[in-house]
Structures are given as structure tokens and as C-alpha cells.
Amino acid sequence: MGKTAFVHGKSWSDRMFDALVYIIVLFVVVITVYPFLNVLAISLNDSIDSVRGGITIFPRHFTWDNYIKIFTFSGLITGFKISALRTVIGTLLGLISASMLAFTISREDFQGRKFVSTFLALTMYVSGGLIPTYILMKDLGLMNTFAVYILPGVVSAFNVFVIRSFIDGIPYALQESAKLDGANDFTIYWRVILPLTKPALATISLFLAVGQWNAWFDTYLYNGSRESLTTLQYELMKVLQSTTAGSGGDYRTNLVSSAVNQVSPESIKMAITIIVTVPILLVYPFLQKYFVKGMTLGAVKS
């Protein structure tokens, strides 16, 4: 800060204040990361040794055994595939729907504009609820299908409005000049709008991908008895809940019981937790500048 010329040195109280700020922020950082590092350390530690306790953020007896072990569970391999698949497909479809809808309702000349945006906005306030949705999925024949992971979430009003407020910031003259060159509305969307909304699209893809990757309840509700359609989060949930007396009820616990005999479940749990978390850790820091912008835009506008 160069503008402090008239303050000769910092006062004692300001220095105390500074120190306090750093201590508190550092404290927040520590309580945020420590649990993750602790989980990582336990997952990389010899499972029998872990039972003794006292592991902080460094493994005491380093080993890859826990990871090697969990990859012999068929449920996890299937879960990984299904989770990855739903993340890719769900994100792509979500991006297409949100960007197209955002483009159409950003066009002030569009006749259906008001109807479409009101129709969308209402979904943010009223929802049918758990059981009517469940019955609908059943009636549509989506129980025990992969489609149930994708179809219900294709259109998200929130995402549409985030992209729309971004499009509003693009000069309309660009669209007009494209029109003069003979472009139709779809070409404008594809060639003009999409390239210019990349930051917003990056934000939305992150939201969509994280939402898909992290979802477990739809598996529990619709596909719980279909092992070929299990997801990674659902498998983790079963493993974690198996020893905590369970709150929900009827999961199949065969995955755990086979593991318990050989390896301490604690290490297994921690290793699976890491496997489930790592993909997100690899992605979000790089998209940070986009989603911070996207969040702020969306909030200001809506």
C-alpha cells in the first residue's frame, strides 16, 4: 500500500489487529485442511498400525496396501465408471440446455421470452417434493436405469440465469452484425455467443460436474438394488454408514463385511474417501477465477 505516506509507522493497536487477523485466518485454514490431510495420512498408513491411533498428517508406516485392496472390490470399479459417465454426460447436456435457454431469454425481441423465463423461475421456488418425484420417475419407467441420473437434472433454472446475466453483458451489436452477414439465430448462438460466454460456461460446468460426481441420493432412491448402476458416492456412503449404526436402513453391506476380515475398515474408509475426493481437488483450483466471477454475477442479478 503506497497511500500510507501520512501514517508514520503502524500504531501498536493496528499491529495487534494485523496479528490477530492472521492468526484467525490461519486457524480457519488449518481446521479446513487438517481433516483432509489426516484422512490422507491414515489411508496411506499400515492398517493394523493405524488402530494404535496418534496419526496426524504423516503416515507412520507408509503403504499403498489400502488402495490396492479397495481396487479389488468390484463395486468400486463399477461405481467409478458410472460416476465418471454420469458426470460427463450430465455436464454436457446441462451445458447445452442452460446456454440455449439463456440465449433465447436474453433476446429482447423473442416473443416467448417472458413465458420461458417465468416458467423457469417458478421452478426455483416450488418443487413437487420427494414422493411425487419418486412416483413420477416410477411412472416414466426410470427406476433402475442410468437415465434417472441424467434426465431430471438436465435443465437448471439457476444455471440458466447465471449464463443469461453473462450474455446480457455482451454488446447486442455483435449479434446484429452477424445477422447482417446472413447468420441465423442458431449460428449466432453457436459462433458468437458460445465462444464469448466461455467464463460462464466454465463456472456452470464446474457446478454441474461437481453436482453429478457428488450425487448419491438418486442411486439410493432409484437404483439401490442394481449393482451395475451403483455410483462411487453411494458405495462410499454404504461403507461409511455400515459401522455407524446406520440411519437410513436397508443397504446391502456385503462390500464391507468382505473387507472387514482382512483390513481394518478405518483405513479402507479413508482410502475410498480420498479416491472420491481427488478428482475434485484436481479440478476446482484451476477454475477458481471463473466460478468466483460466476457466483458474483449470478447473485447480483438474481
Partner 1 sequence: MKAATVIPESTPDPREKPGKPTRSRKRFWRTFKNQKYLYFMSIPFVIWVFVFSYLPLWGWTMAFQKYKPARSFFEQEWVGFDHFKTLFHDDQFLLSLRNTLAMSSMGLIAGFIFPIMFAILLNEVRLGFFKRFAQTISYLPHFVSWVVAAGIVTKMLSTDNGLVNDLLMGLGVIHQPIQFMAQGHLFWGIVTLSDVWKETGWNAIIYLAAIAGIGPELYEAARVDGASRLRQMWHITLPGIRPTIIVLLIMSVGNLLNIGFEKQFLLGNNLVTDYSQVLDLYSLKYGLGMARYSFGTAINIFNSVISVALLFTINGIFKRTTKESLL
Q: Output Rg (C-alpha) for the chain, integer angstroms.
A: 25
Count Cα neighbours of 80 within 13 Å in the Cβ-side half-sphere. Answer: 15
Residue 158 in grid coordinates: 439457476
Q: Which of residues 4, 108, 182, 195 is near partner 1 by CB under 8 A? A: 4
172 binds partner 1 (CB under 8 A): no
Instruction: Say whether residue 222 binds partner 1 (CB under 8 A).
Output: no
Verify binding: residue 265, partner 1, rule CB under 8 A: no
Sign of torsion, CA 142 145 147 152?
positive
The runs of H, that is alpha helices, within 11-129 are 12-43, 47-50, 65-70, 74-106, 113-122
CB of 190 to partner 1, least distance (A): 10
Residues 54-73 that bind partner 1 (CB under 8 A): 54-55
Q: How many residues bind partner 1 (CB under 8 A)?
A: 97
Nearest to 83 by CA among 286, 287, 282, 280: 280
User: Residue 286 carries which DSSP code?
Assistant: G
Nearest to 292 by CA among 192, 213, 197, 207: 207
Minimum distance of partner 1 from residue 61's CB (angstroms): 15
Which residue among 2, 3, 8, 182 contacts partner 1 (CB under 8 A)? 3
* Sole window of 74-82, 134-142, 162-170, 222-230 interacting with partner 1 (rule: CB under 8 A): 134-142
Asked if residue 288 binds partner 1 (CB under 8 A), the reply is yes
Single out the residue of 163, 171, 206 nearest to residue 192, CA to CA. 171
| 170 is a contact residue toward partner 1 (CB under 8 A) | no
Is residue 30 within 8 Å of residue 220, measured between CB atoms?
no
Tally of CB atoms within 10 A around 214: 16
Ranges within 223-262 binding partner 1 (CB under 8 A): 233, 236-237, 240-241, 244-249
- Pick the binder of partner 1 from 72, 262, 284, 301 (CB under 8 A): 284
- Rule CB under 8 A: say whether 78 interacts with partner 1: no
> Is the backbone of residue 245 left (phi > 0), alpha (psi -120 to 50) or beta?
left
Per CB under 8 A, 174 contacts partner 1: no
Question: What's the min distance (Å) between Cβ of 194 and partner 1?
Answer: 12
Contacts (CB under 8 A) with partner 1, residues 5-64: 6-7, 11, 13-14, 17-18, 21-22, 24-26, 28-29, 31-36, 38-39, 53-55
- Please report which helix (H) or strand (E) contains residue 148, including its range: helix 147-150
For residue 152, the 8-state DSSP code is G
Kindly tell me which of 21 and 260 has the beta carbon lying closer to partner 1: 21
Minimum gap (Å) between residue 169 Cβ and partner 1: 15
- Contact string 181-200 vs partner 1 (x = CB under 8 A): ---xxx--x-----------
In terms of CB distance, is 166 or 216 closer to partner 1? 216
